Amino acid sequence: MEVNVVKKTPPVPVPEGHRYCFSCETLKTIDQFGKHRRSRDGYYSLCKPCARASAARSREVRQLVRETADRIQTSAFTRPAIALQEIAVAL
């Protein structure tokens, strides 16, 4: 299986000891990025504040999906037609 990797190029030159965050689009020092053993240079592509915000958004979405699934599951037994409408709204 072949994996296509898209390599982004920062719009500004990145000096030694710095890294560009594509999320907030700023140039920051390398200590503002978390460690990541599997990446080529050993750091995450998002700075710590952006990574924190991304994780918080993911948690919110997962919680919303769980709540919607629970609501749909309980209403599917009692009100099947309304459950289908809730599925359509959730998507």
The count of other CB atoms within 10 Å of the CB of residue 50 is: 20
In a 3-state reduction of DSSP, which class is residue 32?
A: helix
Q: What is the CA radius of gyration of the chain?
A: 20
Dump pLDDT digits (tens) for 16-69: 999 999 999 999 999 999 999 998 889 998 999 999 999 999 999 899 888 888
- Which pLDDT score is estimated for 19? 93
pTM of this structure: 0.66
Average pLDDT of the segment spanning 66-74: 77
